[in-house]
Amino acid sequence: QDILQAIERDASHANLEAYCSFSDSYGVGKGIGMHARLASMSRAFGTSHYQALDGKIRHCLEKWLRIDDTLPERNRFHYDTVWGGLFLRGEDGEAHFYTDFGFPFYNDHHFHLGYFLYALAYYVRHDTAWAQQHRQRIYALARDVGNPSYKDKFFPVVRHKDIYMGISWASGVVPGERQEESSSESLNCYHGLAALGDALNDPILRGTGQVMLALEIASVREYYHVRDHNFNQFPPILQKFGAVGQIAEDSFYVYTLDWGCDPNVFPMRHGCLVGIQIIPITAVSRYWMDKDWAKHILQSCDWAINPSHATDYSLANPSDLRDLVTGWKAFCYAGIAPYDESHKIAAANYLRDKYPRDLVSGTGAASTLLFIYERT
For the chain, the residue count is: 376
Instruction: Quote the crossing angle between the two packed helices 341-351 and 326-336, to the nearest 10°.
Output: 150
pLDDT value for 133 = 98
pTM: 0.96
- Beta partners for residue 168, in sequence order: 161
Q: For residue 341, count CB atoms less than 10 angstroms from its CB and return exposed for 0-12, middle for 13-18, buried for 19 or more.
A: exposed
Could you count the other beta carbons within 10 Å of the beta carbon of residue 308?
Answer: 10
pLDDT value for 375 = 66
Would you give the distance in Å from CA 223 to the centre of its chain? 18
Q: How far apart are CA 280 and CA 37, in angstroms?
A: 10
Residue (of 307, 303, 295) closest to 339 by Cα position: 295
**pLDDT (tens place) for every residue of the chain, 376 residues total:** 999 999 999 999 999 999 999 999 999 999 999 999 999 999 999 999 999 999 999 999 999 999 999 999 889 999 999 999 999 887 776 777 777 888 888 999 999 999 999 999 999 999 999 999 999 999 999 999 999 999 999 999 999 999 999 999 999 988 788 999 999 999 999 999 999 999 999 999 999 999 999 999 999 999 999 999 999 999 999 999 999 999 998 878 888 888 889 989 889 999 999 999 999 999 999 999 999 999 999 999 999 999 989 888 888 788 877 899 999 999 999 999 999 999 999 999 999 999 999 999 888 999 999 999 986 4
Q: How far apart are CA 109 and CA 100, in angstroms?
A: 10
